[in-house]
Structure 1
Amino acid sequence: MNVLHGAHLIEADGSVSGAPLFVRAFAVPAARGALESATLAVTAEGLVEPAIDGVVVGDAVLSPGWTAYHSRLRVIEHDVTSRLVPGSQHELTLLAGNGWYCGRLGWMGARGVYGDRPRVAALLTMIFADGSEVTVSTDQSWHSVCSPIVADDLYDGEHLDLTRERGTEHPVLVVPLDPARLVTPVGPPITRHEAIAPISVTATPTGTLFDFGQNLVGWLRLRVRGSRGHRLVLTHAEVLDGGELARRPLRSARAEDTVILSGGDDEIEPTLTFHGFRYAHIEGWADVTGTVEAVVVGSDLARIGTFACSDADLTRFHRNVVWSLRGNTVGIPTDCPQRDERLGWTGDIAVFAPTACYLFDMTGFLRDWLADLRAEQKANDGRVPYVVPDALPGWAVVPGEEPESVAIWSDAAVWVPWAVWEASGELAVLAESYPSMCAHLDRVLTRLSPRGVWEGDFQFGDWLDPTAPPENPIQAVSDPGVIATEALHRSILLTARTAEALGRREEAENWRARAARLRQAFADAYLDADCRILSDAPAVYALGIVSGILEGDAVQRAGDRLAELVRAAGHRVIAGFAGAPYLCEALTRTGHLDDAYALLLGRDEPSWLSPLARGATTVWERWDSLRADGSVNPGEMTSFNHYALGAVADWMHRTAVGISPAAPGYARVLLDPRPGGGLTWARGSVRTPHGLVAVQWEQDAAGSVTVTYCAPDEVEVELGPAAGAAERVDASAFAEMLAADAALA
Structure 2
Amino acid sequence: MIARISGSIILLLLCTSIFSQVAITNLKTESLTNPLGLDHPQPRFSWQLTGTQRGIRQAAYELEVRQGAINGKQVWQSAKQSSDSSVLVSYKGAPLSSGETYFWRVRVWDQQNKASKWSDWAYWHTGAFDPGFWKAKWIGVAKEEEGKPSPVLRRSFSTAKKKIRSAHLYITSLGMYEAQLNGKRIGDAYLSPGWTSYDKRLQYQVYEVSGLLQPGENVTGVSLGSGWYRSYIGFAGQNNFYGKELALLYQLKITYSDGSTDWILSDEKWKSSSAEVRSSEIYHGETIDNNRMLKGWAAPGFDDRNWAPVKLMPAYTKALVATQNEPIRKREVLQPVKFITTPKGEKVLDFGQNMVGWVRVKVRGNKGDTISIYHAEVLDKKGNFYTENLRSAKQLNQFVLSGNGLEEFEPKFTFQGFRYIKIEGLSKDPDPADYTAYVLYSDMQKTGEFETSNPLINQLQKNIQWGQRGNFLDVPTDCPQRDERLGWTGDAQAFYRTATFNFDVRAFFSKWLKDLSLDQLSNGAVPFVVPNVLGEGAVGSAGWADAATIIPWQQWVVYGDLRTLAEQYASMQAWIKFMSSKSNKNLWNTGFHFGDWLFYRPDDDTDGRAAITDKYLIAQCFYAYSTQLTMQAAEVLGKTEDAANYRLLLNEIKRAFQQEYLTPNGRLVSSSQTAYVLALQFDMLPESMRQQAANRLAENVKSYNNHLTTGFLGAPYLCKVLSRFGHEDLAFTLLLQETYPSWLYPVKMGATTIWERWDGQKPDSSFQNAGMNSFNHYAYGAIGEWMYEHITGIQADPAHPGFKQFFVRPHTGGKLTYAKASLHTAYGEMVAGWKLEDDRLIMEIVVPPNTIATVFCPATSAADISESGKPLLGRTDLEPLGAVEGTIPVRIGSGRYRFECRN
Q: TM-score, normalised by structure 1?
A: 0.93
Q: Which residue of 1 aligns with 2:836?
A: 699
2:325 pairs with one of 161, 167, 187: 187
User: Does the 8 Å CA contact 2:736/2:814 hold for their aligned counterparts?
Assistant: yes
Map residues 305-384 of structure 1 onto 2, 5 A cutoff.
Answer: 305-377=448-520, 379-384=521-526
- The answer to whether the Cα contact below 8 Å between 1:102 and 1:113 also exists between their aligned partners in 2 is yes
Helix, strand or coil: the match of 1:720? strand
Cα RMSD of the aligned pairs, angstroms, is 2.1
Q: Post-superposition shift, 1:458?
A: 1.1
Query: Which residue of 1 is the match for residue 588 of structure 2?
Result: 454
Q: CA deviation at 1:414?
A: 0.5
Segment drifting more, 362-371 vs 532-541: 532-541
Q: Structure 1 residue 496 and structure 2 residue 631: aligned?
A: yes
Return 77-86 or 721-730, whichever deviates more.
721-730
Choose which of 177, 194, 214 in structure 2 pairs with 1:85. Answer: 214
CA shift for structure 1 position 52: 1.4
Q: Tell me what 1:571 maps to.
A: 706
Match of 1:664 among 779, 797, 801: 801
CA distance 1:215–1:476, change in 2 (3 Å)? farther
Name the SS for the 1:665 alignment partner.
coil
Residue of structure 1 aligned with 2:374, choices 235, 244, 249: 235
* Structure with the larger helix share: 1
Residue 679 of structure 1 corresponds to 816
Query: Residue type matched to 2:184 in 1?
Result: V
- SS of residue in 1 equivalent to 2:222: strand
1:247-266 deviation digits (Å, cap 9, x = unpaired):
01000000000001222332
1:30 offset after TM fit, Å?
3.2
Percent of aligned positions that are identical: 36
Q: 1:461 to 1:35 in 2, by over 3 A?
A: same
Q: Find the aligned partners of 2:397 and 2:165 in 1 and give their Cα distance.
A: 42
One-letter amino acid of the structure 2 residue matched with residue 670 of structure 1: F
> Residues 403-414 of structure 1: matches in 2 within 5 Å?
403-414=538-549
Question: Contact conserved, 2:151 with 2:225, CA < 8 A, in 1?
Answer: no
> How far apart, CA to CA, are the structure 2 residues paired with 1:347 and 1:705?
39
**Structure 1, residues 115-143: CA drift from partner, whole Å, max 9, x if none?**
11322211111111232211111122212
Length, aligned pairs only: 719
The answer to whether the 8 Å contact 1:7/1:177 transfers is no
Aligned to 1:742: none
Aligned 8 A contact 2:820 2:832 in 1: yes
- Paired with 1:206 and 1:38, the residues of 2 have a C-alpha distance of 54
Q: 2:666 matched to which residue of 1?
A: 531
Within the candidate set 389, 394, 397, 2:531 is matched to: 389
Separation in 2 of the partners of 1:40 and 1:381?
A: 40
* Residue in 1 that maps onto 2:774: 639
Match of 2:425, as an amino acid? G
Which whole-Å CA distance do the structure 1 matches of 2:867 and 2:220 have between them? Answer: 60
Q: Which runs of 5+ in 2 are unaligned?
A: 1-127, 295-303, 605-609, 869-891, 898-903
- Cα deviation code 1:318-376 (max 9, x no counterpart): 11000000000111001010000000000000111000011110000000000111111
1:177 paired to 2:315: yes
Q: Name the aligned partner's letter for residue 684 of structure 1.
A: A
Q: Which amino acid in structure 2 is aligned with residue 43 of structure 1? A: T
Q: How far is 1:719 from its partner?
A: 2.1
How far 1:538 moved relative to its partner?
A: 0.3
Structure 1: which 5+ runs fail to align? Answer: 395-401, 735-745
Q: Is residue 157 of structure 2 the alignment partner of residue 62 of structure 1?
A: no
What is the CA-CA distance between 1:508 and the residue it aligns to? 1.0
1:27/1:14 Cα in 2 relative to 1: closer, same or farther (>3 Å)? Answer: closer
Question: Could you tell me which of 75, 95, 99 is aligned with 2:204?
Answer: 75
Give 1:573 shift: 1.4
Deviations 1:592-617 (A, max 9, x none): 11111111110110000001121100
The C-alpha deviation readout for 1:299-335, integer Å capped at 9, x for no partner, is: 0010011100011101110110000000001110010
1:294 partnered with 2:434: no
Q: 1:700, CA displacement in angstroms?
A: 2.9
- Deviations, residues 77-107 of structure 1 (Å, cap 9, x unaligned): 1111011113x21221111100100001012
> Which residue does 1:128 correspond to in 2?
256
Letter in 2 for 1:389: P
Separation in structure 1 between the aligned mates of residue 222 and residue 526 of structure 2, nearest angstrom: 35
Shift in alpha-carbon separation, 1:551–1:718, aligned structure 2, 3 A:
farther
State the alpha-carbon separation in 1 of the partners of residues 866 and 335 from structure 2.
Answer: 43
> Which amino acid letter does the alignment assign opposite residue 392 of structure 1?
L
* 2:173 is aligned with 1:44: yes
In the alignment, the residues of structure 1 paired with residue 584 and residue 595 of structure 2 have an alpha-carbon distance, to the nearest angstrom, of 17
Find the residue that maps to 1:660 and give its secondary structure.
Answer: strand
Judge conservation of contact 2:329–2:443 (CA < 8 Å) in 1: yes
1:571–1:286 CA distance, 2 compared to 1 (3 A)? farther
SS at match of 1:415: helix
How much has 1:286 moved relative to structure 2? 4.2
Equivalence for 1:262: 402
SS of the residue 1:107 aligns to = coil
For 1:532 and 1:730, locate their aligned partners in 2 and report how far apart those are by CA, in whole Å. 46
Report how far residue 207 of structure 1 moved.
5.1
Q: Which residue number corresponds to residue 844 of structure 2?
A: 708
Q: Within the alignment, does 1:25 sit opposite 2:145 as a pair?
A: no
Residues 163-174 of structure 1 correspond to what in structure 2 (within 5 A)?
163-166=291-294, 168-174=306-312
Counterpart of 1:252, as a letter, is S
Q: Is the 8 A contact 1:35 1:129 kept in 2?
A: yes
Matching of residue 615 in structure 1 with residue 750 in structure 2: yes
Partner of 1:464: 598
Q: Which amino acid aligns with 2:477?
A: T
CA distance in 2 between counterparts of 1:727 and 1:208 reads: 59
Match of 1:718 in 2: 854
Secondary structure of the structure 1 residue equivalent to 2:491: helix
Query: Bigger shift: 717-726 or 563-572?
Result: 717-726
1:380: Cα distance to partner?
4.7
Letter in 1 for 2:151: L
Q: 1:102 aligns with which of 225, 230, 244?
A: 230
C-alpha separation between the residues in 2 aligned to 1:75 and 1:153?
22
Counterpart CA distance in 2 for 1:191 and 1:3 is 31
Instruction: State the match for 1:209 in structure 2.
Output: 348
CA distance in 1: counterparts of 2:808 and 2:132, whole angstroms? 46
| Displacement of 1:454 | 1.4
Aligned ranges for residues 210-225 of structure 1 at < 5 Å?
A: 210-225=349-364
Helix, strand or coil at the partner of 1:636: helix
SS in 2 for 1:388: coil
Select the structure of larger CA radius of gyration: 2
* Residues 242-285 of structure 1 deviation map (CA, whole Å, 9 limit, x = unaligned): 22221010000000000012223322211211000000011123
